[in-house]
Amino acid sequence: MGDSGSTLAGRRLAAYLRDARQAVKLTIAQAAIAADISTSVLQRLETAEKTRLKARDLDALCQVYEMPDDRIKAMIGLLLKAGEKSWWHAYGDVIPANFDVYIGLEAEAQQIVVYQPSIVPGLLQTPGYALALLENGFPDWSNEERQRLLALRMERQVRITRRHSPLDLLVILNETVLRCRVGNNAVMAAQLRHLAEVGKRPNISVCLLPFAAGVPMGSPIGHYAMLEFEDPASPPVILLESFTGSMYLEKPGEVSQYVDVTRRLQRHTLGEEASRSLLRKSVEEYEQ
């Protein structure tokens, strides 16, 4: 897709605009005429090539595509970020807080590596565990709102369980995840049992970093996800999350550092079999 110099934000914008145009059944030429922009500009947009399109022109294009206001704001935010190789997405800043850039990336990824120091990542969460997190995170939401978000989270897991071309997933969990209780004992027992079982799938590896490993990198490592794609025009991306936003890294030097971090963490994990044994032991402790 596009040239190899395209950025993550530009590629995501291109994908969303292509999908939106196809949803309203317009050709590139028809959409360009309706939005009063040139066909060549729209072609460059949809192939993530650099363009000098102004925000007001993108707004007009999104109106043609019948996008809601918050979606339009997200598209304009991506346009503003399109020139940056690595960028910070502050929740509610130029991109609305309810627009999840990561979900689109996850849907296109061929392989994902996740390191989690404290909780089970979303792709491996059980409904009970995920709901307990949502109840803590959104105490003012109605049960219906939380159930809707829970359904979306569970729907994402189809990518790792489907028969055809499932996502390859490597998850490295700090042993803290086993001790950090989310929900009640029954919720934890079910979650850890699920981790032990899902790790048997050929496309999924679950490895525990034990307390005995200490601090392999010499300093704390926060949660990160590394996504790789089949399309050679889409280089690997690193996601770093915090409470107030997400950082997306795609510069080769930054990515290579996290490739090295992953290798070093893996060398200190228990390995898959030993990790399953510790998970099963922890299940028994929660069931007592």
Q: Which of 196, 174, 197 is nearest to 276 (CA)?
A: 196
Confidence of residue 247 (pLDDT cuts 50, 70, 90): confident
Residue 202 and residue 273 share a domain = yes
Residue 90 lies in a domain: no
Whole-angstrom distance, CA of residue 33 vs CA of residue 59: 14
Residue 174 lies in a domain: yes
Instruction: Give the lowest-confidence range in 10-14, 102-106, 148-152, 162-166.
Output: 102-106
Instruction: Give the lowest-confidence range in 16-25, 46-55, 190-199.
Output: 46-55
Residue 180 lies in a domain: yes
Residue 178 lies in a domain: yes
Q: What is the CATH number of the domain that holds 240?
A: 3.30.870.10
Q: What is the CATH number of the domain that holds 80?
A: 1.10.260.40
Looking at residue 186, its pLDDT comes to: 97
pTM: 0.81
Residue 113 and residue 20 share a domain = no
Residue 32 and residue 111 share a domain = no
Could you give phi then psi for residue 249, rounded to 5 degrees? -110, 135
Residue 246 and residue 118 share a domain = yes
Looking at residue 97, its pLDDT comes to: 63
Mind listing the pLDDT tens digit for each residue in 105-137?
888 899 999 999 999 999 999 999 999 999 999
Residue 250 and residue 218 share a domain = yes
Residue 195 and residue 71 share a domain = no
Residue 111 and residue 252 share a domain = yes
Residue 280 lies in a domain: yes
Residue 91 lies in a domain: no
Residue 110 and residue 33 share a domain = no
Residue 117 lies in a domain: yes
Residue 119 and residue 246 share a domain = yes
Residue 282 and residue 184 share a domain = yes
Residue 143 lies in a domain: no
Residue reference for tokens 């025009």: 233
Residue 269 and residue 198 share a domain = yes
How many domains are contained in the chain? 2
Q: What range does the domain containing 60 cover?
A: 8-84
Residue 109 and residue 170 share a domain = yes
